[in-house]
Structure 1
Amino acid sequence: MAKTSLILFSQLLFHYMLLSFVVFTHSATESALVTQIPGFSGTFPSNHYSGYVTIDESHGKSLFYYFVESEGNPSKDPVVLWLNGGPGCSSFDGFVYEHGPFNFEAAKTKGGLPTLHLNPYSWSKVSNIIYLDSPAGVGLSYSKNLTDYITGDTKTALDSHTFLLKWFELYPEFLSNPFFIAGESYAGVYVPTLAYEVVKGIDAGTKPILNLKGYLVGNGVTDNVFDGNALVPFAHGMGLISDELYEEVTNNCKGNFYNLNSETCDSKLAKVDKDIEDLNIYNILEPCYHDTEMRQNTDINIRLPSSFQQLGETDRPLPVRTRMFGRAWPFRAPVREGRVPTWPELLNSNSVPCTDDEVATAWLNDAAVRKAIHADEVSIAGSWEICTDRIDFSHDAGSMIKFHRNLTLRGYRALIFSGDHDMCVPYTGSEAWTRSLGYKIIDEWRPWTSNGQVAGYIQGYENNLTFLTVKGSGHTVPEYKPREALDFYSLFLAGKKI
């Protein structure tokens, strides 16, 4: 009898200790649980958490995240970190306008809040997903030490890695899940540089050990030569410039369209600019939205301040004729080493061309919304902007090709996808640099389908590298083609053939 009692007591003690452990592991995130959001009256299909992770206590440097648990099997489904680009653009761009759990319907009355509906194509259908505002100074992330707003590729990757290590300490139950890093536009730099830092941490045995499996990059900047030379062939292939002009610009520029080398070349490229200047840079099929501020700044011949200009062989300042900032560093002024100027420095405007961000701006600057998602007040964290000029950012990581080669040769899976009607980061550049790696083709160029229709084209290479186009899509694929995006995303995460 005494032995039976001892066994029962031991079992009760074990269950009590187990319960205590479960409470402890979740206690750190109880305060991060989002229980309701202004504008949404339904029931969340999965748990949502949000708040700050302080990555530098001495500076008060805090990065904001919004975490959506999978609507499928959160304990087993992959964890995906999502990053928008810019640099300087908030990942709430992806949350509000692309693949977040809600679709946002604009307020019917002036000054009102948008109405939220469940998004049937949310990426949380098949994955746990973290939306991170990075670096500090972007979106809802901030630092009490303003020197932290002077940053660049390398520092951003280090800070985001620190965030991940601390985040997984807060959510240790997700450590065993497959982990992926994803992003678009200038996140074509953020994603591979961060993945590289994560891999270095794994090699060094840095705890906690992250279960990195791969990464995804959509319409991502990569390399100044490949991306810089992508626009002219894209414009010709899309019928935006004539055969005659294409031949003239090719002959006069000798195939080098990004680093101007002669006045004749310059004049021919100016004709290209003239032909395409009124198109929506992010999707040539769509109309271009202009707010009042942007209508007053329509000159295509933007010139960089002298401190940002790249000098040619004759040491004369080179003009940057483009409106392609906003969600991505522009081309034909491709990603070069050095400081990346902001919109206000180029256009005397805080607006992003052809982008209507009014819904997200109204929602994320509302005091009740901020309280609900545990974001600090405007007086502390600043106003939310889709793309900020608060940071002073330098591109200091060079070409991303070396990062992609390193990661894929080590076995990490990579999906490089492109909306084929994006003129900001044309698919022609992404197709060219993926081919330049010299990997053997193991899945020859072919159509892939969604909902019974051809949704784009795909080419698979050895070393787990895949290039994919999305037919008729612009710069932000999940925004323009949500069903198709969820389809290829789901298949890639599951390791299945697209």
Structure 2
Amino acid sequence: MARGGSTAAPPALPLPLLLVVVSSSAFFACCCLAAPPGALVTSVPGFAGGKLPSKHYAGYVTVDEAHGRRLFYYLVESEREPAKDPVVLWLNGGPGCSSFDGFVYEHGPFNFEAGGSAGSLPKLHLNPCSWSKVSSVIYLDSPAGVGLSYSKNVSDYETGDLKTAADSHTFLLKWFQLYPEFLTNPFYIAGESYAGVYVPTLSHEVVKGIQKGDKPILNFKGYMVGNGVCDTVFDGNALVPFAHGMALISESIYKEANTACQGNYWNASSAKCDEALSKVDTVSSIGPWQLCTDKIDFDHDAGSMIIYHKNLTSQGYRALIYSGDHDMCVPHTGTEAWTASLGYGIVDSWRQWIVNEQVAGYTQGYENGLTFATIKGAGHTVPEYKPQESLAFYSRWLNGTKL
């Protein structure tokens, strides 16, 4: 991709998202009552179920006037009490994945069914397990170059953790200026996968802004991370033992990798280790991720997230760290290990948590408002696999009750 001062149009959405949004111009054609850069959405292509269950808004917030860097958001108001219910910012990871992934496939207000002729819109139905049942949710495409977010200067597509966090913080300050009615609502930040980096780094920026007195002052209460990237050593060294424990690789392949790498899988130390890990990858691969862009050049420049989690929770901000227990991308075993490594005392010992009289997973609660939970049978995108259980833990945690 060319760098420098050239300009770029808003990037096209990946094909699955085109089914719902069609294009930015077509999308905004069904909006009215514009309050730039936001707009009330009065209809959604493919949904013929009558009135939307709550108000929806969509638009852009400019985070850099000089470069024309603009981030796209879609707000789904709570279907319960939007004036009082929590407001949650949702971020998908990648880096490079649109947060419409969460909107379309996970916990957005619609489920959809394919059908009809090629290129036709899917039929949308209301999602009974939408997270908007109990909260307002802002789906944000971040950084610029992802989804419908863009910059007129494509040099902005070379970015990293710290710039992304700073831009998202700027977005939040400007967004709450546009929607001041939500300033008193409890505010949380949530996300999954590489948003395991986005969420704590953005939370850190928000807390710094509150302490500096940035206006408006956000009513930030805590954050959630699902199957999130955290620390190279913890995450990387969990992969091979997890694959072995899930019977994805044989005992002999595991022993070969363990001997060749001496238990250090994240940073291959020899040709034999490389060869053994290649065999593990060949046998146990989960395939490519689709709803992402290759238009950005992203640098993981924030390091381990452990220090961020320690800093935030020690200041009293609540944190829910949850993991689908069938995810090999970021295995729950590594996440369980790093949450324990923070050194907090246990206040709710390892136990089952229940939904509809069935075991939904396991949880352990720590001092300083830190909770770790697994979701039984869920993969990398937990609400996509287990929607009822996801709404249950989400609702309970937002309410401040035990899972």
TM-score by length of 1: 0.72
Go from structure 1 to structure 2 and tell me whether the alpha carbon gap of 1:148 and 1:265 turns closer, same or farther (over 3 Å shift). closer
Residue in structure 2 matching 1:199, options 207, 220, 224:
207
CA distance in structure 2 between the aligned counterparts of 1:274 and 1:158, rounded to whole angstroms: 38
Counterpart Cα distance in 1 of 2:55 and 2:128 = 16
Structure 2 distance, partners of 1:177, 1:150, is 34
Q: Which moved more, 1:195-204 or 1:101-110?
A: 101-110
**Shift in Å at residue 30 of structure 1?**
9.8
Distance (whole Å) between structure 1 residues aligned to residue 264 and residue 219 of structure 2: 41
Quick one: distance in 1 between partners of 2:69 and 2:396?
37
Structure 1 CA distance, aligned partners of 2:328 and 2:312?
28
Distance (Å, rounded) in 1 between the aligned partners of 2:39 and 2:95? 27
Structure 2: distance between partners of 1:107 and 1:160? 37
- What residue in structure 1 maps to residue 15 of structure 2? none
Q: 2:395 and 2:128 mapped to 1: Cα distance?
A: 14
The residue number in structure 2 matching 1:475 is: 380
Match of 2:106 in 1: 98
Contact 2:38 2:60 in 1 (8 A): no
Alignment partner of 2:349 out of 444, 448, 471: 444
Once residues 60 and 473 of structure 1 are traced to their aligned partners in structure 2, the CA distance between those partners, rounded to angstroms, is: 40
* 1:264-285: CA deviation from partner (whole Å, max 9, x where unpaired): 32333233223313xxx2xxxx
1:74 partner amino acid: P
CA distance in 2, matches of 1:199, 1:265: 42
* Correspondence for 1:36: 43
User: Share of identical aligned residues, percent?
Assistant: 72
Q: Which amino acid aligns with 2:57?
A: Y
Distance 1:261 1:448, change over 3 A: same
Deviation, 1:387, is 0.9
| 1:429 corresponding residue in structure 2 | 334
What does residue 466 of structure 1 align with? 371
Offset from partner CA, 1:77-121 (integer Å, 9 cap, x none): 000000000101100000000000011111321121111110000
Q: Which among 245, 270, 274 is matched to residue 266 of structure 1?
A: 274
* Partner of residue 187, structure 2: 179
- Distance between the aligned counterparts of 1:31 and 1:178, measured in 2? 21
Residue 227 of structure 1 aligns to a residue in which SS? helix
| TM-fit CA distance, 1:29 | 6.4
Q: Where does the alignment leave 5 or more consecutive residues of structure 2 unmatched? A: 1-32
The more displaced of 195-204 and 104-113 is 104-113
Contact preservation (8 Å) 1:89, 1:388 = yes
Shift, 1:447, TM fit: 0.8
Look up the match of 2:138. 130
In structure 2, the CA distance between the partners of 1:30 and 1:36, relative to structure 1 (3 Å rule), is farther
Paired residue for 2:10?
Answer: none
Q: Distance in 1 between matches of 2:344 and 2:94?
A: 30
Query: Can you list the C-alpha shifts for 1:176-226, whole angstroms capped at 9, x where unaligned?
Result: 000000000000000000000000000000000001100000001111000
1:31 to partner: Cα distance: 5.9
What's the TM-score once normalised by structure 2's chain length? 0.89
Q: Matches of residues 275-294 of structure 1 in structure 2 within 5 Å? A: 275-277=283-285, 281=286
1:218 aligns with 2:218: no
Give SS of 1:46's match. coil
Q: Deviations over 1:417-455 (max 9, x none)?
A: 111111111111111111111111111111111111001
SS of the equivalent of 1:240 reads: coil
> How much has 1:480 moved relative to structure 2?
0.6
Q: Which runs of 4+ in 1 moved over 4 A?
A: none
Matches for 1:228-377 after TM superposition, within 5 Å: 228-277=236-285, 281=286, 326=289, 352=290
Q: Say whether the 8 Å CA contact 2:37–2:59 is kept in structure 1.
A: no
Structure 1 counterpart of 2:196, which letter?
Answer: G
Partner AA of 2:112 in structure 1: F
Change in Cα spacing, 1:75 to 1:82, as seen in structure 2 (3 Å) is same
* Maintained 8 Å contact 1:229/1:429: yes
The aligned residue for residue 27 of structure 2 is none
The whole-number CA distance in structure 2 between the counterparts of 1:267 and 1:146 is 38
**Considering only CA atoms, is the larger Rg found in Structure 1 or Structure 2?**
1
1:245 offset after TM fit, Å?
Answer: 3.2
Contact 1:29–1:171, Cα closer than 8 Å, also in 2: no
Structure 1 pair 268–390 and aligned structure 2 pair: CA distance change class (3 A): closer
Q: Whole-Å Cα distance in 2 between the matches of residues 491 and 29 of structure 1?
A: 35
State the distance in 1 between where 2:95 and 2:201 align.
14
RMSD: 1.5
The one-letter amino acid of 1:234's match is F
Would the aligned equivalents of 1:29 and 1:49 in 2 still touch at CA under 8 Å? no
Tell me the alpha carbon deviations over residues 142-183 of structure 1, each in whole angstroms, 9 at most, x when there is no partner. Answer: 111111111110000000000000000000010000000000
CA distance, structure 2, for counterparts of residue 247 and residue 441 of structure 1:
34
1:163 aligns with 2:171: yes
Query: What is the CA–CA distance in structure 1 between the aligned matches of 2:37 and 2:144, rounded to whole Å?
Result: 24
